Amino acid sequence: MANQAAISLQAICYSRGSLSLLDQRKLPQETVYLEIHTAADGWSAIREMVVRGAPAIAISAALSLAVEVSNSDFKGTAVDAASFLVERLGYLESSRPTAVNLSEATVKLQNIVKKVAETTSNPEVVFQAYLEAAEIMLTDDVAANKSIGCHGAAIIASGLQTKQLSVLTHCNTGSLATAGYGTALGVIRALHSGGQLERAYCTETRPFNQGSRLTAYELVHDKIPATLIADSSAAALMKAGRVNAIVVGADRIAANGDTANKIGTYSLAVAASHHGIPFYVAAPLTSIDGSMASGEEIVIEERSPNELLFSHGGLGERVAASGIDVWNPAFDVTPSNLITAIITEKGVITRNVEGFFAITEFMERTA
């Protein structure tokens, strides 16, 4: 473990053979980085919420195995190397089941190493191919996020008749949840840099408080005018006319546009619909799972009861009566009919004439 100066909001610090992850459980009071040496270290960091956010989870998983590979003295054939990587990637995928980015990344990386193993007898060639593919994920994510921010700022501003917008977001979707810049928070950053943002509102995001601990931290760091609200006050804020648009991230988007995101997102979408406020989802195309017809098929992760029984997301003193039962889903699913549009790095997915999201057509057109 190493303490590092908070020079930037970089959650993932990587160079070949070395990986450290910002321990987001300790923010904003402490800036502590955990050194990751193996895939097992990466699995634990993801599972225990050291790192969170769908893009960051996938990248951290891939790079944790990259570090293990870089520092190993592997003995075996190219086929053995591919088998080792495929097995370790499958293990990493089990750390958090809801975020599609992780499963998409593992399948993509598994296919790469298996294909390379068919063309060589040298295990180092297989490992090199894996390292290059994992490292590309890191750089590609930042570029994709900035593109999401640009498309998002344009669509939100064009749909409203005011020059200064107030935007509400939920959970954390910024530099701390990605390789950098962010998805939904990237849209807010883009609006701010373009002089179009009056104020950002962020929810506390119970029970792990990613909004109050992480999003607020990023907004203050970037000097973006912002206000923190309790989760339960969001509808009242909308009723008061203080929100022009809502933009959230996504952990998995089904083929029909149904979107799984941090618990509480569905409540925001229902309230937004009631108040006539546009509700946007901002996510990379890797968050879209075309194999799932609807949100009914999305597996929802349930977290430890301790996150509700104890303060600070399970890390503090007990706050609930002993013996009480707990239901603590980490995510909920927002039906597509409550979503105004889905903002991606390739553009904005809107509805077709039947009222459904033409996701398949969009992905074919932008491939």
What's the CA gap between 85 and 90, in Å, rounded? 9
Looking at residue 139, its amino acid is: T
* Dihedral sign of CA atoms 8, 246, 296, 346 in order: negative
Give the rounded distance of the alpha carbon of 133 from its chain centre. 20
> Cα separation of 196 and 165, whole Å?
6
Three-state DSSP state, 20? strand
Mode of pairing for the β-strands spanning 197-203 and 226-229: parallel
Distance (Å, whole) CA 205 – CA 229: 9
Bridge partners (DSSP) listed for residue 280: 247, 341
The answer to whether 237 and 207 have CB atoms below 8 angstroms apart is no
Catalytic pick among 23, 141, 251, 258: 251
| 87, two tokens | 């097995």
Inter-residue contact 48 to 96 (CB < 8 Å): no
| Residue 251 among the catalytic residues | yes
Q: Degrees (nearest 5) of the Cα angle 172, 153, 22?
A: 25
Which residues are marked as active site?
251
